[in-house]
Amino acid sequence: MRRSVLLVVVLGLAIVEPVSTQGPGAAAVRSPEVRPDRSVTFRIAAPKASEVKLTCECFSGEKPLVKDEKGVWSVTLGPFEPDIYEYEFNVDGVTIPDPRNEKVKTNSRPSQISSLLDIPTSVPMFYDVKPVNHGSVEVRWYPSRAVNGTRRLHVYTPPNYDKSSTRLPVLYLLHGADGDDSSWTLFGRAPAILDNLMAERKMAPMLVVMPFGYAYPPVQGVAGDKQRADFEKDLTDDIIPFIQSNYRVHADREHRAIVGLSMGGGQALNIGLRRLDLFSRVAGFSAAVPRNASTTFKDVVADAKKINSSLKLLWLGCGSEDGLFTPNKEFSDFLTTSGVTHTWSPSTGAHTWINWRKYLQEVAPKLWSATT
């Protein structure tokens, strides 16, 4: 509550433009302004502020803004590579989103809300909506015995799903901490990525289920062990049966995969490697693997032969600037030492959707062949 009140105070005192700058005929403060050369001007009207700084995934550190005679702070930076970046202003020590940008990254926990900067290019990116056949995303509610309530998930069905009688494989795609079941659609651009891959005949049509990765809302403060155990029970005992009853999918492990990012990557590895009766493909993107993975997964790798014969794909990826890079690399080394076949795909970059979108584009075609 104190955070919300403070944000309102800052917005009210520092950001609202005075009438003299927003009177009849005056131009509104525009931010961000992306130029043809991919440089960007960031602006914020904060006439009473003493200092304004900018942080963005498109550069390292902080950049100071300069105030003009009307109280508008600005800085022009770049050019930047085409991508979608998160950024925030810091006004006199308080971090806030850009009040002139309606595109924001929201959270399921009371964490920082960031603004989104989309740097376009003349050639559409792999995550852009292109003139191809498009799938659909449905918001579904299902009864959960695991948590004794009704829960929400998002389901992606591929193009022409309603016109076919073919059963499909299923990818269970998990979000990270602060996210929810809408994250892969809103910020991960999963529907567009999958549509484009299928249009290029690189990926088999599949159903993608995006559940809420918390058994209980994070603000309730339910202990981590119970959160993890009840989410797994919800997934295996409630979600999978719900999908099989309501969608035209295969019901065997051969046609079921589990993939996740960060917190969801840790869930995917924990559940997928221990439930080989349910999943045949497992992947973690910047996965939240424990530092003591050699102990945590000791029981799993005890039978490396079983894992190797059961899994058609075990994939790990992480950026070199990611705080989770070292534990992911150590986990990969541990798997190698234990004789577990897997793919370790390190990349550049940090703990960000910039990488996770790329990982999905790379992994989705590996799940099932385009002729499946």
Confidence band, pLDDT 50/70/90 cuts, at residue 340: very high
Q: Kindly report, residue by residue over 58-103, the tens digit of the pLDDT.
A: 999 999 999 999 999 999 999 999 999 999 999 999 999 999 999 9
- Domain termination residue (choose one: 56, 85, 119): 119
- Establish if 163 belongs to a structural domain: yes
Q: Which residues in 220-251 are b (16+ Cβ under 10 Å) and which e?
A: eeeeeeebbebbbbbbbebbbebbeeebebbe
Q: Residue 39's domain is classified under what CATH number?
A: 2.60.40.10
With a CB cutoff of 8 Å and minimum separation 6, the contacts of 162 are none
Residues 97 and 181 in one domain: no
Q: Kindly report, residue by residue over 266-292, the tens digit of the pLDDT.
A: 999 999 999 999 999 999 999 999 888
Provide the angle, in degrees to the nearest 10, between the axes of the packed helices 263-274 and 224-233.
Answer: 60
Q: Are 157 and 151 in contact (CB under 8 A)?
A: no
Q: Residue 286's domain is classified under what CATH number?
A: 3.40.50.1820
Q: Which pTM value belongs to this model?
A: 0.91
Determine the structural domain holding residue 107 and report its residue range: 2-119
Could you identify the residue written with the tokens 């993975």? 293
Residues 104 and 145 in one domain: no
- Establish if 28 belongs to a structural domain: yes
Confidence band, pLDDT 50/70/90 cuts, at residue 371: low
Separation between Cα atoms, residue 196 and residue 11, nearest integer Å: 40
Residues 72 and 201 in one domain: no
Residues 329 and 238 in one domain: yes
Residue 297 φ/ψ region, left for φ over 0, alpha for ψ in the -120 to 50 degree band, beta for the rest: alpha
Q: Are 287 and 316 in contact (CB under 8 A)?
A: yes
Of 21-25, 165-169, 189-193, 260-264, give the lowest mean pLDDT range. 21-25
- Establish if 129 belongs to a structural domain: no
Q: Are 112 and 88 in contact (CB under 8 A)?
A: yes
Separation between Cα atoms, residue 204 and residue 294, nearest integer Å: 35
Write down the pLDDT at residue 27: 57
Coil, strand or helix at 251: coil
Residues 16 and 57 in one domain: yes
Q: Kindly report, residue by residue over 102-140, the tens digit of the pLDDT.
A: 999 988 888 889 999 999 999 999 999 999 999 999 999
Q: Are 257 and 279 in contact (CB under 8 A)?
A: yes
- Establish if 360 belongs to a structural domain: yes
Write down the pLDDT at residue 47: 96
Residues 171 and 261 in one domain: yes
Residues 65 and 206 in one domain: no
Residues 25 and 170 in one domain: no
- Is pLDDT above 70 for 4? no
- Domain termination residue (choose one: 119, 150, 170): 119
Residues 267 and 196 in one domain: yes
- Establish if 130 belongs to a structural domain: no
Residues 11 and 90 in one domain: yes
Confidence band, pLDDT 50/70/90 cuts, at residue 2: very low
- Domain termination residue (choose one: 88, 119, 150): 119
Residues 75 and 222 in one domain: no
- Establish if 147 belongs to a structural domain: yes
- Establish if 126 belongs to a structural domain: no
- Establish if 180 belongs to a structural domain: yes
Residues 362 and 263 in one domain: yes
Q: Which residues in 85-108 are b (16+ Cβ under 10 Å) and which e?
A: bbbbbbbeeeebbbbbeeeebebb
Averaged over 217-231, what is the pLDDT? Answer: 89
Contacts made by residues 60-66, CB under 8 angstroms, sequence distance 24+ = 62/90, 65/89
How many domains does the structure of the chain reveal? 2
